[in-house]
Structure 1
């Protein structure tokens, strides 16, 4: 895998997850749609929290 593709893989995946979550929130009303919305919008937030926790545990470097 090229360095450019490796560098942009996660940002594109997180953007796709966010877009999927926002569209499912607009498209559906309750039930499975809300579950899909919460999961899809939660993935980027969990990713951010894990990256911050990992950075703090490594001493901020």
Structure 2
């Protein structure tokens, strides 16, 4: 997937989105409960945004 396309898709998500949704959409195993909110996950791991986390994944 092109980086530009990935960024466009990420912009439609909010920090209230559940990790399980992210894992399904991007095929990523984040190693946490699928019910956890992505905003909480990002804050705990020190990522400024979902886009940044996906770039580093």
TM-score of the two chains, using structure 2 as the length reference: 0.31
More helix as a share of residues: 1
Larger Rg: 1
TM-score of the two chains, using structure 1 as the length reference: 0.30
